[in-house]
Chains A and B, each alone.
Chain A
Amino acid sequence: MKKTYRKFIFTMRTVAPVHIGSGYKFGTKEYINEDGLIYFPDMGKLYQHLVSEGLDEKFEEWLLKRNVQSTKVRLAQFLKANGQSIQGYGGYTVRMMQTTEQGGVRQHASRDRQSTEVNEVSQFIRDAYGNPYIPGSSLKGAIRTILLNTHWKDENFVQRYGNGKASEKKDVVDWGAHKNKQFDDIFNEIRVSDSNPMSNQDLLIVQKWDYSARKQIATALPVYRESIAPFKVIKFEIVTTTERATELIKNLSKYASEFYTDYKNFYLSEQPNEYVTDNLPGYASLYLGSGSGVWTKTIFRQADGIVQNRYQRMKTKMIGKGVMKLTKAPQVKYKFKESVKTLVHNNESFYEMGKVAFFIEEVTQDGL
C-alpha cells in the first residue's frame, strides 16, 4: 500500500495566557466573585432553587435593576441578603488573577473604573462535558497564518474593489472543488485535531491591558477572559495526507521562527523589550486565540495600512501599528540547564496575550 498518511504530535506549552472564546459572555449577574475565585453557577439550577425558596419574583426584580457596576448589586450580595448560600448550584469555579499580584508603576485604570472590578467575562470554549479544550480549527488558523506569511510570502493577497476597499484574496492558495479541474487543496491535506480536554484548574481569568508605546502607559480595560494559565502543556495530532503537506508540517518550527522574527522586526521592535514574553529554549513560538493583536492574525506586511483604515471610524483610532496587547498573570519560573529563568522580564507581571511555544514530532507507525 502507498504510504500517504503521516502523523505528527504537536506539543504546545502556553507561555502567556491564551483565550479561545466559546462565543458566550457571562454578564455581571451570572457569577460570584469571592476570595480570588469566580464561581459560575448553573443559572438554571440557581433559579430552580430560588423558586423553591419563593424568591423568584424578588430575583426577577433584582435582575432588572440597573447600575450593575456597583458591587452592591452583585449576585453574591443578592443571595446573602436573602439568606441563601452562595455556592452549591452546579456550574464551575475558575481562579482569578489577583489584583494584589499586580504591582507596577506606569499603569492606570481605564477612565474612572476600578481595575479590580470584574464585569463581563468571556467564556473559554468547552466541550459538551464542560471541559475547556482548544479546537483544531483555532490551531489550524494560526498555522495557516504562519504559512501564508512565510511559505507564500511572495504572493499578493490583497484584493481591491472599485470603492477603494480591500480584503483578502482567498483563492491565492487553491482550495475547494472546481468543475473540470483536479482537486487541489493543500490545506485539506493538513488535518489538525482538537486538543485533549483540559480542566478548570488549568484556567485563569485575566484582564486585558493595552500598552501604548507612544504614551508609555498601560491601560486596564474592562475585558476579562477565561484563559489557559501560562506553562500548561496541550497536545494535538496533525495528520498530513500528501508529501507537499508533510514538507510544510515538518518545517513548521522553521516557518514559525521566520514568522516570529519578521513579526518582531515589524512590530515588537517598536515596543519595550521588557514586555515581550520570552520564547522557550528549544521551542518555536506562535500566537493563538483572541487578544493577541491584528498583526498576529494577518499577512501583516500587506495588511499594514489597510487594517488601520478599518479603525478610523471607531472611537479608538489605531495610531501607527496600534497598542501592545498585554495581560497579567502570576510570574512563572522554570529551570533550564541548571539555571532558573522567568517568562516575563518586567515587575508588573505583564505577558503578551496569546503567546505559546511548541514543538512538533512525527510519530512513526507500521502498516500505513
Chain B
Amino acid sequence: MAYSKVKITGLIELETGLHIGGSSAFAAIGATDSPVIKDPLTNLPIIPGSTLKGKVRSLLARAFNERTAEKPHQDTESIRRLFGDSESDEYKIGRLIFRDAHLTNADELTNKGARTLTEVKFENTIDRITAMANPRQIERAIRGSQFKFELIYDVQEETDVPEDIDLIVSGLQLLELDYLGGSGSRGYGKVDFKNFIVETAFGEFDSTELQKKLDELTPAEV
C-alpha cells in the first residue's frame, strides 16, 4: 500500500477535574502550590501530547507486553512500532503523532456558570496518629472541559494495519478506564473520548473500519 497519513480527531471531555502539573516556581505563599500547565498565550489549561502519549503507552505496555519491560525499548514489538524505540533502527520513529490538546469550549463553560476555567481544590493530609491536618491547594482544569484531540497515524506496512488499529483503540479505551494527569487515584483526570472523526489526510487508506471501532468505544459511565 502506498504511504498514507490518517488523522484521528475527537474531543476529550473531563468527567472530573484534571491536574497536569505545571511549574510552581512562582507560586505565592498561601496560594495554589500546584498549578496546572497552561497555554502561555491564552492562559487556558492544555493537555500536552506527551502526557497522552506516555499514559497510553504505559497502559498498553501493561496490557500487552508478554514480559514486564523495565525500559521502554523492551516493550513488545507492536507497541514500539507505534510509539517508537530509540534503540532500534527499524522503529526509531514511531507511527503515531500525538498533538497537544487545547481547550475548545471555554465560552460554553462560562455560559454554564463556570466562573473560572480552573478550580482550586483544598485538600488535607491528616496524620493518623496525631490527627494533625496539613492542608494543600491544587489547581484543576474543571469538569466539563473539552479538549480537541488529534492523533496522526502513519500507514507504512499494510499487514500491520489491523494490529495497529486494535492497539490504538485499546489504548484509548484503557485511558477511559484509567486517568490522565496527576492524583488519579483520588478522583482526578477521568476522561471520556467523544466524536471521533477518522479521515485519510494523505494517501488511499480506507478508514471505515477504524472509524467504526472508535465509534464503538463505549463512553465511560458516570
* Complex interface: chain A residues within 8 A of B62 (CB): 4
Chain A contacts with B in 346-368, Cβ cutoff 8 A: 363, 367-368
Q: Does B210 contact A (CB under 8 A)?
A: no
Once the chains bind, are B187 and A194 in contact (CB under 8 Å)? yes
Across-interface contacts of B187 in A (CB, < 8 A): 135-137, 140, 191-194
Tell me the minimal C-beta distance from B146 to chain A in angstroms.
Answer: 14
Which residues of chain B are near A135, meaning CB under 8 Å?
Answer: 121, 123, 186-187
If A168-B128, A306-B130 touch, does A188 touch B185 (CB 8 Å cutoff)? yes
B142 and A136 contacting across the interface, CB-CB below 8 Å: no
Given A1-B63, A23-B135, A193-B16, answer yes or no on A297-B130 (Cβ-Cβ < 8 Å).
no
Is B157 in contact with chain A by the CB < 8 A criterion? no
Bound form: Cα–Cα A113–B59 in Å = 59
- Given A128-B116, A135-B186, A188-B185, is A298 in contact with B122 using a C-beta cutoff of 8 Å? no
Q: Roughly how many angstroms separate A303 CA and B128 CA in the complex, as a whole number?
A: 7
Chain A, Cβ-Cβ closest to B190: A193
Residues of A122-150 contacting chain B, CB below 8 A: 125, 127-130, 135-137, 140-141, 145, 148
**Residue-wise interface mask of A (71-90) relative to B, using a CB-CB cutoff of 8 A (1 in contact, 0 not):** 00000000000000000000
* Residues of chain B from 154 to 186 with CB closer than 8 A to chain A in the complex: 170, 173-174, 177-179, 183-186
The 0/1 profile, CB within 8 Å of A marked 1, for residues 110-150 of chain B is 00111111010111101111111001010000111000000
Of residues 47 to 99 in B, which have CB atoms within 8 Å of A's CB atoms?
62-64
- Size of interface on B: residues with Cβ below 8 Å to A: 45
Q: Are A191 and B142 also in contact (CB < 8 A) when A148-B128, A299-B129 are?
A: no
Question: For residue B178, which residues in chain A have a CB less than 8 angstroms away from its CB?
Answer: 5, 191, 239, 241
> 3 tightest CB-CB pairs across the interface, nearest first?
A136-B187, A23-B122, A137-B186
Q: Are B64 and A192 in contact (CB under 8 A)?
A: no
Q: How far is the CB of A242 from chain B (nearest CB, A)?
A: 11
- A21 near B: Cβ within 8 Å? yes
Write out the residue numbers on chain A whose beta carbons fall within 8 Å of the beta carbon of B123: 135, 137
Residues of A near B174 (CB, < 8 A) are 5, 368
The yes or no answer to A110 lying at the interface (CB within 8 A) is no
Which B residues touch A166, using CB under 8 A? 129-130
| B95 → chain A closest CB, angstroms | 21
User: B185 near A192 (CB under 8 angstroms)?
Assistant: yes
Contact of B35 with A by CB under 8 A: no
A158 CB–B CB distance under 8 Å:
yes
The answer to whether B29 has its CB under 8 Å from any CB of chain A is: no
Partner of B63, one of A2, A141, A168: A2
From B166, which residue of chain A is reached at the shortest CB distance? A1
Give the shortest distance, in Å, between A42 (CB) and chain B (any CB): 9
User: Is the pair A128, B119 in contact by a Cβ cutoff of 8 Å?
Assistant: yes
Residues of B within 8 A of A136 (CB): 16, 186-188
> Separation in Å of the B123 CB from the closest CB of chain A?
6
B-side residues, CB < 8 A to A, are 15-17, 62-64, 109, 112-117, 119, 121-124, 126-132, 135, 137, 142-144, 170, 173-174, 177-179, 183-188, 190, 221-222
A252 part of interface (Cβ distance < 8 Å): no
Verify A307–B16 contact, CB threshold 8 A: no
CB neighbours of A193 from chain B (8 A): 15-16, 187, 190
Tell yes or no: A69 within 8 A of B by CB.
no
Among B137, B142, B185: residue with most chain A CB under 10 A: B185
8 Å CB contact of B185 from A22, A191, A237: A191
Seen from chain A, the residues whose Cβ lies within 8 Å of a Cβ on chain B are 1-2, 4-5, 7, 21-23, 125, 127-130, 135-137, 140-141, 145, 148, 157-159, 166-168, 187-194, 196-197, 237, 239, 241, 294, 297-299, 302-303, 306-307, 310, 363, 367-368
* A297 and B222 form a contact (CB under 8 A): no
Contact B128 A307 (CB under 8 A): no
Contact pick for A168, options B109, B129, B188, CB 8 Å: B129
Q: Is the CB of B17 within 8 A of A194?
A: yes
Q: Which of A5, A136, A241, A294 has the most CB of B within 10 A?
A: A136
Closest to B121 in A: A135
Q: How far is the CA of A194 from the CA of B142 in the complex (A)?
A: 12
Beta-carbon contact of A140 and B185 below 8 Å: yes
Contact B114–A129 (Cβ < 8 Å): yes
Contact of A194 among B16, B113, B128, B135 (CB under 8 A): B16
Given A303-B130, A306-B130, answer yes or no on A5-B177 (Cβ-Cβ < 8 Å): yes
Complex Cα spacing A148 to B126, Å:
13
Cross-chain contact A187 with B185 (CB below 8 angstroms): yes
Further pairs besides A136-B188, A167-B132, A241-B178: 15, Cβ < 8 Å: A1-B64, A5-B174, A5-B178, A129-B113, A130-B113, A135-B123, A137-B187, A159-B129, A166-B129, A191-B178, A191-B185, A239-B177, A297-B131, A298-B130, A303-B131
- Cα-based distance from A231 to B122 in the complex (angstroms): 26
- By the criterion CB–CB under 8 Å, are A128 and B142 in contact? yes
Q: Knowing A127-B119, A191-B185 are in contact, say whether A297-B126 is a contact too (CB < 8 A).
A: yes
Distance of B103 from chain A, by nearest CB (Å): 13
The one of B109, B126, B129, B222 that contacts A141, using a Cβ cutoff of 8 Å: B126
Known A5-B177, A191-B184: A307·B113 in contact at CB below 8 Å = no
B128 touching A145, Cβ below 8 Å = yes
- Asked if A306 contacts B179 (CB within 8 A), the reply is no
